[in-house]
Amino acid sequence: FLIPNGTVHCSGTGNLVLEISATPYIFTFKIYDYLRKDLEGNLRPMNIERAFENIYFDRRKKWVQENLLAKPQLLREGDGWREEVLYDKSFTFYNVHRAEFEREFEFDTADRGFAVNLVEGESVEIWGENGRKMPLKYLESMLIPAACGKVKIVNRGDRPCKMVLVFVRPTVGVSEPLNSPSD
């Protein structure tokens, strides 16, 4: 599932969740928290009134099935790699792509900053156009600046890799307004 702000959601025991946050002014407003406690042993605060002010109540079963279930679409592929679009919706700030590769994967930032996450595989090296390289291990995240240009990701493990690539949609803030806290 790909869950935008304003959608009621939860994760149960044993689930691993990759949370992609869009902006600092969109918060989590808890309506239930499984009686979990904070570091001092107090029940964590609920934000029921604010939550109900920010919930999109029209997001029901049909809407969720049509809009939030990932339907990967092949964007491009080559020898031992492929890139798919997982999420490209006008009601969010970002797009989500997935790269699957055996040895290497390359892309161009095209003046967009990226957040990347290694979700399968052991480790990779991320090479910038300037020759600088940085390691990234399984379940680690990294920000790649827009100015990085061409990026090469090299598998340093024995198993194929999957990476999630997230970037702000090109039209956000240009041809369409950013969401505001009052939306």
- Kindly state whether residues 80 and 153 are assigned to the same domain: yes
Which structural domain range is residue 96 located in?
73-168
Domain count, the chain: 2
- Kindly state whether residues 8 and 39 are assigned to the same domain: yes
Total Cβ atoms within 10 A of residue 182 = 5
Q: What pLDDT does 150 receive? A: 96
Asked if 118 and 140 touch (Cβ cutoff 8 Å), the reply is yes
- Kindly state whether residues 65 and 83 are assigned to the same domain: no
User: Can you list the residues of the chain whose pLDDT is less than 50?
Assistant: 24, 180-183
CB neighbours of 141 closer than 8 A, spacing ≥ 6? Answer: 115, 116, 117
Backbone phi, psi, residue 81, to 5°: -150, 160
Q: What pLDDT does 177 receive? A: 53
Q: What pLDDT does 23 receive? A: 57
Tens-digit pLDDT profile for residues 6-58:
788 787 778 888 877 765 455 677 788 888 888 999 998 888 898 888 888 98
**pTM of this structure:** 0.82
Strand locations in 89-140, DSSP E? 94-101, 104-108, 114-120, 123-127, 133-137
- Kindly state whether residues 87 and 152 are assigned to the same domain: yes
d(CA 3, CA 58): 14
- Kindly state whether residues 45 and 61 are assigned to the same domain: yes
- Kindly state whether residues 86 and 132 are assigned to the same domain: yes
